């Protein structure tokens, strides 16, 4: 149901934006008047720069995919290779169609809302301008459903990884002594740390997502690739690898 709501919001908002903008050709004409580079494939840069950008964007996509353990776990839990292939195409079809729709909506908002102070608020602000409260509620439900589903999935995956995988021996001892309360406590700790980080870090949502995705990908990515390649290794080596990747991502962010 959440997927249908999100798709309805993405495609519906894009359709309304195109209609209000006078059609695709009119929006493209307005974009060209705002900045000709917006309609230029290379945006005024050389083809070599464009290729470098696309290569970097490719690796960003790889890192972003690896940084979603709540999705990778479902793929790894497939009952058969055929089921995993089908699930992969369902995910790609849903994810990329909604992403493309929202990118096009953002481009249209350059014409429809040229003076908006916070571009990240374009979707809810445009909805409040165009729809009645009922439809605005559906739009906001789609936005917050994506946020909530990702947040709680990441919370459970991270707390489970900390409780179970950092030290399996410690997990066995604590589970025998405290039962499920041990993992519940770790979930609470991770949740509190996430709230503190979200409140204390002053940045845009896009910047935070880039940093969070990079941190998770750099820590889990190498370990995940080793497991997928069926290479034998010790859990201490995997933990060291994850710590090194996470530390590198944090230093990269701190040092600018």
Domain layout of the chain by residue ranges:
1-130
Put simply, whether the predicted model's pTM sits higher than 0.75 gets the answer no
Q: Which of 101-105, 194-198, 228-232 has the lowest mean pLDDT?
A: 228-232
Identify the top-confidence range among 3-7, 55-59, 76-80, 155-159.
Answer: 3-7
Q: What's the pLDDT at 18? A: 93
Average pLDDT over all residues of the chain: 81
pLDDT of residue 35 exceeding 80, the answer is yes
pLDDT band of residue 105 (cuts 50, 70, 90) is very high
Residue 206's Cβ-count burial label (10 Å; 0-12, 13-18, 19+) is exposed
Q: What's the pLDDT at 108? A: 92
Q: What's the pLDDT at 93? A: 87
pLDDT of residue 164 exceeding 80, the answer is no
Torsion of CA 102, 108, 129, 140, to 10 degrees: 10
Torsion of CA 133, 135, 139, 144, to 10 degrees: 60
Mean pLDDT of 198-202: 75
Q: What's the pLDDT at 158? A: 78
Q: What's the pLDDT at 69? A: 66
pLDDT of residue 106 exceeding 80, the answer is yes
Q: What's the pLDDT at 66? A: 65
pLDDT of residue 228 exceeding 90, the answer is no
Quote the CA–CA distance of 183 and 164 in Å, as a whole number. Answer: 8
Q: Select the more confidently predicted residue: 168 or 117.
A: 117
Region for residue 189 given its phi and psi (left: phi exceeds 0; alpha: psi -120 to 50; beta: otherwise): alpha
Q: What do you get for the CA distance between the two ends of the chain, in Å? A: 41
pLDDT band of residue 70 (cuts 50, 70, 90) is low
Percent of the chain with pLDDT over 90: 10
Mean pLDDT of 221-225: 76
């Amino acid at each position: 149901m959440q997927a249908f709501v999100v798709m309805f919001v993405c495609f519906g908002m894009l359709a309304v934006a195109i209609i209000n903008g006078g059609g695709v050709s009119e929006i493209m004409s307005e974009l060209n008047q705002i900045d000709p580079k917006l309609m230029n494939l290379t945006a005024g840069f050389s083809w070599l720069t464009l290729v470098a950008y696309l290569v970097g964007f490719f690796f960003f996509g790889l890192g972003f995919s690896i940084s979603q353990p709540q999705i990778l776990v479902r793929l790894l839990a497939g009952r058969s290779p055929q089921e995993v292939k089908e699930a992969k195409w369902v995910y790609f079809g849903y994810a990329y169609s909604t992403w493309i729709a929202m990118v096009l909506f953002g481009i249209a908002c350059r014409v429809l809302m040229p003076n908006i102070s916070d571009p990240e608020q374009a979707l809810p602000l445009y909805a409040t301008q165009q729809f009645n409260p009922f439809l605005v509620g559906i739009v906001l439900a789609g936005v917050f459903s994506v946020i909530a589903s990702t947040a709680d999935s990441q919370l459970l995956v991270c707390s489970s990884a900390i409780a179970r995988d950092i030290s399996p021996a410690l997990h066995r001892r604590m589970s025998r002594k405290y039962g499920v309360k041990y993992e519940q406590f770790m979930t609470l700790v991770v949740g509190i740390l996430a709230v503190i980080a979200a409140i204390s870090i002053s940045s845009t949502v896009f910047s935070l997502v880039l940093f969070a995705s990079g941190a998770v990908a750099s820590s889990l990515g190498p370990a995940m690739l080793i497991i997928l390649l069926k290479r034998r290794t010790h859990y201490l080596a995997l933990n060291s690898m994850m710590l090194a990747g996470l530390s590198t991502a944090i230093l990269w962010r701190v040092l600018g």
